[in-house]
């Protein structure tokens, strides 16, 4: 019985830790369905936008016509969401710091994409787009459902359908 109580106490005591940045970035929050903290959401959403824009700029240069069309939509849509998020932060409606540069992982992915050409580029670009949008949909859905800032929560809910559409388009164009 003591062992059970101790285990339950540990889980209760440890649960706030899961809401911290390491848990969000490691995927623990996602696996457990825990919403990201506002600061984590802002950082991750803005970093995702930066990645989408940079990878899609490469796709405009290296992709086929369908890839270029998709890439242009990604640039347009993610520049828009970046501007909206930045405006919310600057207005004081939300507290946090949007990412201003690619994360180390995103930079490596863009650098790896830059080494590819033709069909190899297109395949890898769409593989990464599927993964990136799957992560973004999860992030936005968790925040829209249970985030702690009403304005940001509403924005996440408003933005989610476009991300779901991007995810579907990327899956449809992914040539496995």
The domain that contains 78 carries what CATH number? 1.20.1260.10
Does the residue 2 lie in any domain?
A: no
Q: Assign 25 a pLDDT band (cuts: 50, 70, 90).
A: low
Q: Which domain holds residue 165?
A: 37-173
Does the residue 80 lie in any domain?
A: yes
pLDDT single digits (tens) 129-139: 999 999 999 99
The torsion angle over the Cα atoms of residues 123, 128, 134 and 138, rounded to 10 degrees, is 180
Torsion angles phi and psi, residue 113, rounded to 5? -60, -40
Nearest to 59 by CA among 15, 143, 118, 141: 118
Which tokens go with 86?
A: 């930045």
Does the residue 77 lie in any domain?
A: yes
State how far Cα 17 lies from the chain centre. 21
Does the residue 168 lie in any domain?
A: yes
Does the residue 54 lie in any domain?
A: yes
In this predicted structure, the answer to whether residue 15 has a pLDDT above a threshold of 50 is no
Does the residue 25 lie in any domain?
A: no
Does the residue 104 lie in any domain?
A: yes
Q: Looking at the 3D structure of the chain, how many domains does it have?
A: 1
Which pLDDT does position 8 carry in this prediction?
35
Does the residue 8 lie in any domain?
A: no
* C-alpha to C-alpha distance for 58 and 120, rounded to whole angstroms: 13
pLDDT single digits (tens) 65-112: 999 999 999 999 999 999 999 999 999 999 999 999 999 999 999 999
In this predicted structure, the answer to whether residue 158 has a pLDDT above a threshold of 80 is yes
The answer to whether 150 and 93 are in contact (CB under 8 A) is: no
* C-alpha to C-alpha distance for 96 and 109, rounded to whole angstroms: 25
Nearest to 162 by CA among 144, 145, 137, 127: 137
């Amino acid at each position: 019985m003591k062992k059970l109580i101790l285990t339950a106490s540990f889980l209760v005591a440890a649960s706030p830790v899961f809401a911290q940045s390491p848990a969000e970035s490691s995927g623990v929050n996602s696996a457990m369905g825990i919403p990201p903290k506002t600061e984590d959401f802002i950082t991750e959403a803005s970093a995702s936008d930066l990645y989408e824009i940079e990878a899609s700029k490469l796709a405009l240069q290296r992709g086929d016509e369908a890839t270029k069309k998709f890439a242009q939509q990604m640039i347009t849509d993610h520049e828009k969401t970046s501007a909206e998020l930045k405006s919310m932060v600057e207005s004081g409606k939300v507290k946090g710091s949007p990412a201003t540069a690619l994360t180390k992982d995103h930079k490596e992915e863009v650098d790896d994409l830059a080494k590819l050409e033709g069909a190899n580029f297109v395949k890898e670009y769409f593989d990464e787009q599927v993964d990136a949008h799957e992560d973004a949909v999860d992030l936005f859905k968790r925040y829209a459902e249970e985030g702690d800032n009403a304005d940001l929560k509403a924005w996440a809910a408003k933005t989610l359908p476009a991300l779901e559409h991007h995810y579907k388009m990327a899956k449809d164009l992914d040539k496995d």
